[in-house]
Amino acid sequence: MLDYKSAKSQLLQMKQAHLEVCQFLGEIDSDFHENAAKTLATRIENLVIEPIDIALKIIDVIEM
């Protein structure tokens, strides 16, 4: 049997780490790097954070 609490905890830690990276990228104010930073932050949100959110929702449903 899977340990859903442990998996949920790890997912929340990963989400927080990636949110911090996105926040850092959003604070970049250099003319040369600003567009690349915002693009990278958006990609992290779409390709990493959204799937983590989906996984967290699935775990919540399983736990119910």
61 touches 2 (CB < 8 A):
no
Whole-structure pTM value: 0.84
* More confident call, 1 vs 31: 31
In tens, the pLDDT along 8-59 reads 999 999 999 999 999 999 999 888 899 999 999 999 999 999 999 999 999 9
**What are the φ/ψ torsions at residue 28 (nearest 5 degrees)?**
-70, 130
Yes or no: say if 38 and 25 are a contact pair by the CB < 8 Å rule: yes
